[in-house]
Amino acid sequence: MTRTKLDTEVKTHIPGIKLSALASGIRYEDRLDLVLIELPEEATLAGVFTRNAFCAAPVKIAREHLADADIRYFLINTGNANAGTGVEGEEVALRCCQWLAEAAGVRATQVLPFSTGVIGEALPADRIHAAIPELYATLTPDNWIPAATGIMTTDTHPKFRTRLLKLAGQDFRISGFAKGSGMIKPNMATMLAFVFSDIRIEVATLKRQLEDVVSQSFNRITVDGDTSTNDACMLVASGKGIVFEELQAADQGLYQAAVRELFQELAMDLIKDAEGGTKFITVNVTGGRNGQECLAVAYALAESPLVKTALFASDPNWGRILAAVGRAEVENLDVSGVSIRLGKLSLIENGELSANYSERQGKQQVDKTDIEISVELGRGSHAETVWTSDLSHDYVRINAEYRS
């Protein structure tokens, strides 16, 4: 599977954004596990969070603070999710916000907490408390890669993306990073992700843009069908650059496309680093009456253990693909209108095995590390795409040994 090549020497400045990361020993020694991000006073931001009913304590606090205050800091820890920890977990998350606020000279409600890691264990607040002075003192504009590394759990490498473009004759930059390798299933966004730009934009506009780009990126990926308790995705406009609302329509379109593309790149980076993953799989579903039924088919394929294990083994077991499409929740699906392709190879035509299909050709397609499955439903004009990974022995091993 294609891996993202990351320049560990990358330096990118977004005015007013500073970052730091250090090892505080939350779960492992000598591993970056605490990250701080400082936002300028002019910043506007929007966030989306998990819809899991057992959402983590920091998710609850972050939602409340985001609604009530001008946010200045993100405080992120790994190793411990602070989920399933009840009232005590919320109190710890609030204390962490207060300790950072005292160091920075802001209100506790101006701090958003984020956590990721093992569910159900108490957060070692004393270690975070001890680390905060150094964490705050080491904020710099260049710590993008340490910050991206510091939010990792089972990820094998940091996921960071940046791009530069011109809007109204001025340079414009967008940069962001994300984490997530398992427990990946969209129900908002799935993982932790933080994306920043140097534009000025109204909060209401930013919220609409975030919902749009998340729906076409982090809400279109799945590794194992499990939605985490801690998922959060933040989009921040520094407020230091050009004003979005004053841009010409063409430049607004360029900006929105750049944000969407960066979100999609980060989302695909997560799948390319999926736990135990060896293959990157794109599932395209076209010809639906609406997007919902296209997604139903796409996820039936993308989350089928039988399909995913067959692809891991490079076995062109097309019966598994056919069965997954057939069991998707599509009302009155007429299989005589369904066609399926592996890459450019025709597998099913009008509900039946293609006369030109051969096992040898099918094997050639599933031997690849990047595999594309395309399904035409023949019912309408809607289309959706989902990205996923295969299911390997290593996925089982990683998750069986996760707490050991």
Distance CA 251, CA 236 (A): 19
Give CA 160 to chain center in angstroms.
12
Active site residue 190: yes
Q: Is 378 left (phi over 0), alpha (psi -120 to 50) or beta?
A: left
Structure tokens at 126: 């004393």
The one catalytic residue among 190, 222, 229, 388: 190
Residues annotated catalytic, as ranges: 190
